Structure 1
Amino acid sequence: MSFPDAAGDFSYSEHDFQRVQTIALREAGISLPVSKRSLVFSRVSRRIRATGKESFGAYLDYVSSSDGMEEMQELICVLTTNVTQFFREKSHFEHLEDHVAPHMSRTLRSGGRCRMWSAACSTGQEAWSMAMSVVDKISDAPWLDMKILATDINHSVVNFGQAGQYLAEEVQTVPDHMRRKFMEPNGVGGFRMAGEIRRLPVFKPLNLNRVWPFHGSFDVIFCRNVVIYFDDETRNALWKRLAGRLVPGGFLYVGHSERVENMRDCGLEAVAPTIYIKRA
């Protein structure tokens, strides 16, 4: 049957939606409820037109073939939602500045290394906020062994974050002293990240539910507002993997509507409703 709310140039059947559900779950761990069927139609239709395919079925056949591997990435990108802002969930950055930065400062200045990870960085505001919080408290961090890994499944937003350029209205949540310190006008009415702070974040595309092409551990991981799109099994498996990449005493920050239900299995302890520490 076709969904009655489908409109436009393509018919859209229940079978088409179920195929997209299967692809999203298999490729990205994304669980698409029936309530998202109109959203799926709207977003996938754009890719059908862009590729010149004649129907949902033909498009889904194409992305599932060896010739459609690159388009599969585009499909996953349009199925993901990118909502973010600078210093979103202020309490996380207050905790980072007040409780984590002093320890990082001692580690870095004694010759040690510190690593942070923005595990679903979207267009980069989270990673840049992490960088600003750290450098505001540890001014020489860009010259020490400090790095921030910023990853997202959507390669387009990763490139946007790497560029570090934002509209004037997007930087309104950046504290004034940080905006003056770490940003400069970009000449077209917006701002760009400027100066040595640009040494800290490294932006890379990454599917959190696939193999991670790195082996190091992190002092801090932000993974916020992404597991809400996963089913219980995928979500709990990801929490365990993330906890496994934290150093003892490292912190995991999650979204305001998220909870780590399998804390004991992960070796985590809650220090606040959305902040967890890796037990020593």
Structure 2
Amino acid sequence: MNDLMPVGEADYTDADFQRVQQIAREQAGIHLPITKKALVYSRVSRRLRELNHASFHAYLDFVTTPAGQSEMQKLICALTTNVTSFFREKNHFEHLETVVMPQLAAKVRTGKRGRLWSAACSTGQEPWSIAMSVMTAFPDATSHDLRILATDINTDVVAQAAEGVYSAEETEGIPSGKKSQFMEPSGDGDYRFNGPIRRLPAFRALNLNASWPIRGSFTAIFCRNVVIYFDDDTRERLWQRLAEKLEPDGFLYVGHSERVSCANQCGLIQVAPTIYRKGL
């Protein structure tokens, strides 16, 4: 029995944790080391209470049945962390504005398409930051075939991101000029993205370790602070798939603690500690 389990709470055994490990790996490619055992209890026990299951064993039996498929999605969401902020790792957005956008704007002005991808968008701060950078560098972007795909495995945070509404505290990382240009007060001290910028991002639920119903390629992909949850093999497969979705000379942005270990095999060239360019 797990000695970290609060007295009187749901039964939670080593075998239960191992089942959660297997489910997380098979369903989402998430690697849960033994050090996450208490965290798993904390996160998943909330789901047990909501569904009135007395034990992890009963709950895990349920989520692995056809009737439990929607709950399986909630379980995976409970195991993922959604910590983000506007313009996190500011150098990426400076690079997007000054290096990527001039060439991309010139291309789409000729009638060609332009696509950017926020591959783990969480509650939306990343894709909305991308959108603000795009509109700053290319004010008439929405008059052309330029769009931002924003995806996340967690359906709840995708829905929240699509609303584009944030508290005053959450918007503190947005430069005042951008905030006044792209947002409006929406009551209760919140702010909402408004105007043409709302046409740029399209929000979708997507499991990065499942099939991708995505056509075409991208000029830039942001996939940051995601692969830290995966094992080495899953990481390398994801880097390869992302590289395949990049246009030649396109850019991949990764998290500050991440690196593409298989960059050469993926045809990627590291141009900064967390920025990679796809070779021509």
Matches within 5 A, 1:108-119: 108-119=108-119
Matches within 5 A, 1:108-257: 108-257=108-257
Q: What is the CA-CA distance between 1:108 and the residue it aligns to?
A: 1.4
Q: What is the CA-CA distance between 1:216 and the residue it aligns to?
A: 1.2
One-letter amino acid matched to 2:4 = D
- Distance, in Å, in 1 between the alignment partners of 2:233 and 2:242 is 14
1:41 corresponding residue in structure 2 = 41
Partner secondary structure for residue 136 of structure 1: helix
Deviations 1:115-141 (A, max 9, x none): 000000000000000000000110000
Identity %: 58
Q: Given that residues 250 and 277 in structure 2 are in contact (C-alpha distance below 8 angstroms), is that contact kept between their aligned partners in structure 1?
A: yes
One-letter amino acid matched to 1:4 = D
Q: What is the CA-CA distance between 1:215 and the residue it aligns to?
A: 2.1
2:3 corresponding residue in structure 1 = 4
One-letter amino acid matched to 1:132 = M
Q: TM-score, normalised by structure 2?
A: 0.99
What RMSD, in angstroms, separates the aligned Cα atoms of the two structures? 0.7
One-letter amino acid matched to 2:236 = N
- Distance, in Å, in 1 between the alignment partners of 2:193 and 2:66 is 39
One-letter amino acid matched to 1:42 = S
Q: Given that residues 11 and 54 in structure 2 are in contact (C-alpha distance below 8 angstroms), is that contact kept between their aligned partners in structure 1?
A: no
- Distance, in Å, in 1 between the alignment partners of 2:10 and 2:277 is 49
- Distance, in Å, in 2 between the alignment partners of 1:83 and 1:130 is 17
- Distance, in Å, in 1 between the alignment partners of 2:207 and 2:216 is 17
1:93 corresponding residue in structure 2 = 93
Partner secondary structure for residue 18 of structure 1: helix
One-letter amino acid matched to 1:136 = T
One-letter amino acid matched to 1:38 = A
Deviations 1:139-176 (A, max 9, x none): 00011100000000000000000000001011010011
Deviations 1:83-105 (A, max 9, x none): 00000000000100110010011
1:275 corresponding residue in structure 2 = 275
Partner secondary structure for residue 196 of structure 2: helix
Question: Which has the larger displacement, 2-11 or 152-161?
Answer: 2-11
Q: Given that residues 97 and 133 in structure 2 are in contact (C-alpha distance below 8 angstroms), is that contact kept between their aligned partners in structure 1?
A: yes
Question: Which has the larger displacement, 209-218 or 155-164?
Answer: 209-218
- Distance, in Å, in 1 between the alignment partners of 2:154 and 2:190 is 23
**Gapped regions of structure 1 (runs ≥ 5):** none
Which 4+ stretches in 1 moved above 6 angstroms? none
- Distance, in Å, in 2 between the alignment partners of 1:100 and 1:43 is 39
Q: TM-score, normalised by structure 1?
A: 0.99
One-letter amino acid matched to 2:69 = M
- Distance, in Å, in 1 between the alignment partners of 2:2 and 2:50 is 22
**Gapped regions of structure 2 (runs ≥ 5):** none
Matches within 5 A, 1:34-113: 34-113=34-113
